[in-house]
Amino acid sequence: MSLRIILKRIGFLVLVVWAAATITFFIPRISPRNPIRERMAELARTGGFSGQGMEEVIASYSARFGLDKPLLQQYVDYMSGVARLDFGVSLNKFPKTTVELIAEALPWSLGLMLATTVIAFVLGMLLGAVAAWPRAPSWLRSFATPFVLFMGVPPVLMGVLLLFFVAFRLKWLPLGGAYSIGTVPEFSLGFILDLARHQILPATALILGSVGAWVLSMRGMGITIQGEDYVNFAEHKGLNGFTIFRDYYLRNALLPQVTGLVLALGTVVPSAIVTEQIFGLPGIGSVLNDAIRANDFTVIYGIVLFITIAVAVMMVLLEFLYPLLDPRIRQEA
153 and 273 inside one domain: yes
CATH (domain of 163): 1.10.3720.10
pLDDT of residue 327: 63
Residue 58 has pLDDT above 70, yes or no: no
Together in a domain, 43 and 72: yes
Are 137 and 73 contained in the same domain? no
Do residues 330 and 247 both lie within one domain? no
pLDDT for 333 equals 42
- Residue 265's pLDDT band (boundaries 50, 70, 90)? low
Domain boundary residue among 261, 283, 305?
Answer: 283
Confidence label for 115 from pLDDT (cuts 50, 70 and 90): confident
192 lies in the same domain as 215: yes
- Is residue 100 in a domain? no
Number of domains in the chain: 2
- Same domain, yes or no: 168 and 21: no
Q: Which long-range contacts (CB under 8 A, 24 or more apart) does 329-333 make?
A: 331/1, 331/2, 331/5, 332/5, 333/2, 333/4, 333/5
Residues 120 and 269 in one domain: yes
pLDDT digits 0-9 by tens, 184-209: 777 778 778 888 888 888 888 888 88
Q: Do residues 262 and 323 both lie within one domain?
A: no
pLDDT at 211: 85
Query: Mean pLDDT, the chain, as a whole number?
Result: 77
Domain assignment present for residue 219? The answer is yes
**127-170 pLDDT per residue, tens:** 888 887 777 777 777 778 888 888 777 777 888 888 888 888 88
Do both 83 and 137 map to the same domain?
A: no
Residue 247 lies in a domain: yes
For residues 313-321, give the mean pLDDT: 77
Task: Give a yes or no: residue 98 inside a domain.
Answer: no
- Structural domain harbouring 117: 105-283
Could you tell me if 64 and 192 lie in one domain?
no
236 and 305 in a common domain: no
pTM: 0.73
Please report whether residue 45 resides in a domain. Answer: yes
Residue 288 resides in a domain: no
137 domain-assigned: yes
Q: Tell me what pLDDT residue 267 has.
A: 65
Instruction: Please check whether residues 22 and 86 belong to one and the same domain.
Output: yes
Is 97 domain-assigned? no
Summarised one tens digit per residue, pLDDT across range 59-114 is 766 666 666 677 788 788 888 888 888 877 777 777 788 888 888 888 888 888 88
